[in-house]
Amino acid sequence: MAKEKHLYRILFLASICLLLINDLCLKYEYHNYLTGKLSDFAGLFAFPYFFSCFFPKKIKPIYILSGLLFVFWKSEFSQPIFDFANLNGIGINRTVDYSDFIALLILPISYSYWNRESKLLIEPKKFLKPIVIGINCLSFIATTLPRAYGDIRMKSDFETKKQANFEEAKRAMTFYESSQEERFIYHIEIPKRKMKIATKIAVTEKPTGVLNIKLDSILSYTVQGSGFIFWSGIDKDDVDYAENLTKEEIESLFREQLDKQIK
């Protein structure tokens, strides 16, 4: 029973929650360097820890093997696996980025945490065990459908005016502050393409009650895959559509969405 108690410890459960939140939400809404690395750190902390709970006499081999598998998975040597999977309709993918190897630094921290005493987040109960194990397995086998990301990086001078106050526009458009002062992140959604375009906008409220909304820059696109867990994929036509969008077309999509959100 002692080894099963490890399943209910604070940092382990926190790492699983972080992995799920990052893969289900943060990567999609804030696709950047931080969200890209966050899953690697959380996953490498939780993955060997989880299996060590069931094979406590094999802890060192589990951690060593986890590190080696991570290196293989993130290198070009694993590409034949992805090619074979995609040819057979299994939607898995990853980007070869050797900077991801920095996440290996979390392994000794996870190993040390497993071997020392720590408080339990929740008291072990029989009915909780399959729930915790199920959530862990889900987080390790593709918590999200595959997504294709791409940079656009275009500047725009498109501006429009709307009769609304700032708070009304913020609720209707769902934009949020960026790292740049007086600039906001806003997504153009194209549901039939399962696609979002991330933009940066400027919103200025005039004393007359008119908002000036400027499309400052077009940042990137995200295309959502379809299917279920592994048996899923990304429609190449949707990615081609995203790659070939002109600035004028994106500005037109921006204007059309604003007209629907602020009437």
Host domain of residue 29: 2-140
The reply to whether 134 and 223 lie within a common domain is: no
Euclidean distance between CA atoms 86 and 148, whole angstroms: 14
Q: Are residues 39 and 158 in the same domain?
A: no
List, for residues 128-187, the tens digit of each pLDDT value.
777 777 777 767 765 555 667 788 999 999 999 998 888 888 888 988 887 777 789 999
Q: Number of structural domains, the chain? A: 2
Phi, psi of 104 (to 5 degrees): -60, -20
Torsion, CA 250, CA 255, CA 259, CA 260, rounded to 10:
10
List pLDDT tens digits, range 65-105: 999 999 998 888 887 776 666 555 555 566 667 888 999 99
Q: Report the C-alpha gap between 199 and 62 in whole angstroms.
A: 43
Per residue in 200-240, pLDDT (tens digit) is 999 998 888 789 999 999 999 888 765 544 444 667 788 88
- CB neighbours of residue 163 within 10 Å: 11
Are 66 and 122 part of one and the same domain? yes
Give phi and psi for 94, each to the nearest 5: -160, 160
pTM of the full structure:
0.57
Task: Pick the last residue of a domain from 86, 118, 140.
Answer: 140
The confidence score (pLDDT) of residue 247 equals 95
